[in-house]
Amino acid sequence: MYLSHFQLQTEPFRISPDPEFLWLSEKHARGFETLREGILNRDGCVLLTGDIGTGKTTFVKRLARLDGVAPVFVTINDGDLTRLEFCNSLAAELGIDRRFDRREDVYKNFQNVLLGQFSACRKVLVVIDDAQRLKPETIREAVDLSNLQLAGQKPLKVLFVGLLDFDRLLKQEENRGLLRNITARYTMEPLTETETRRYVDHRLKVAGRDTPLFTGDAVKEVHVLSRGYPRLINIVCDHALLCGYSSGLEEIDSRVVRECSRDLTVALDLDTEPDQKDPGSSIEGAVEVPRQQGSAAVSHRWRPILYIAAALAALGLTIFAMTR
């Protein structure tokens, strides 16, 4: 809709994870290298945690592209999954077309598949998404799988991906043994204001635009509204582009961001509409962020807001553009 107007070849702020748009800040680049090293060169499991909307999925999709790595994705939909049920789920993802009644039989078949289908791969990366839903006994099963040996090698690497709750689960006294099996880990945190600027410019460049589109004040406003969460940055920026396009503007300034964000007041959990705030003010207090956990964690109140915002982006933005 607004692509040609802003000299873009594709939508720069889609909320669907796309590794082509991945931008690594300094801290994210260090985290990526830590996980890459853990996957390729260390024993034990690897852990990636972060709150909803911090970019874990895009991060994982890029890790899955590492040379010599064959990714297998397992999403945990049932928190009561037993050890055997988990093994059967993984067997299905590995292309084993049968169910097993004994774990021993599962492991034998895993060995056959690893020796056959994945023999040319340096590592088979089992990505366990929503890992915070797993019971400790099922986590132990995944750890045991990562210790599976073939010809003196451990070809199967487990990457746990979960919310911050998973970190807290592993730190419980009864799970300290599991924690020792995590040999590489990284926690995704929201972006700073400077990182938000570079993130926005990066996505615009990947989408085909060579010159800045958002003014410095506009990016500040985007950062205030999104609190540095990439998913919310995308939603706010996409909405701003629609607003700017409908008004025939050539660039996006803070006024445009504040104006269009009035339609996101509920989704962004603002106590007042954006144009009633000081443009440089923080929305401190509008979102409950526990002080002791810093920017890496947000309250349970904030998490569903991200889901609402995603739904709004999927369903509401076109309506907004049509009614301008």
Average pLDDT over every residue of 7-34: 94
What are φ and ψ of residue 102, in 5° steps?
Answer: -135, 140
pTM: 0.79
Percent pLDDT > 90 in the chain is 56
- Give a three-class secondary structure readout of 237-250: HHHHHHHHHHCCCC
For 242-297, give the DSSP string. Answer: HHHHHTT-SSB-HHHHHHHHGGGTTTTT-SS-GGGS-TT---BTTB---GGGGGG-
- CA-closest candidate to residue 12, choices 24, 23, 3, 25: 3
**pLDDT band for position 323 (cuts 50, 70, 90):** very low
Sketch out the chain's domains with CATH numbers: 26-188 (3.40.50.300), 191-322 (no CATH)
**pLDDT the model gives residue 21:** 95
The H or E element containing residue 158 is: strand 156-162
**pLDDT the model gives residue 220:** 97
For 97-117, give the DSSP string. Answer: -S--S-HHHHHHHHHHHHHHT
**pLDDT band for position 191 (cuts 50, 70, 90):** very high
**pLDDT band for position 175 (cuts 50, 70, 90):** confident
Structure tokens at 281: 């003010």
Measured distance CA(111)–CA(252) in Å, rounded: 56
**pLDDT the model gives residue 5:** 94
In this structure, of 116-125, 162-171, 190-199, 307-316, the range with the lowest mean pLDDT score is 307-316
Q: In a 10 Å sphere around its CB, with 0-12 CB exposed, 13-18 middle and 19+ buried, how is residue 127 labelled?
A: buried
Amino acid identity of 94?
Answer: L
**pLDDT the model gives residue 152:** 78
The string of pLDDT tens digits covering residues 206-248 is: 999 999 999 999 999 999 999 999 999 999 999 999 999 999 9
- CA-closest candidate to residue 233, choices 261, 255, 270, 212: 261
Return all residues near 100 (Cβ < 8 A) that are at least 6 apart: 84, 87, 88, 91, 106, 109
**pLDDT the model gives residue 20:** 92
**pLDDT band for position 279 (cuts 50, 70, 90):** very low
Measured distance CA(214)–CA(256) in Å, rounded: 10
**pLDDT band for position 268 (cuts 50, 70, 90):** low
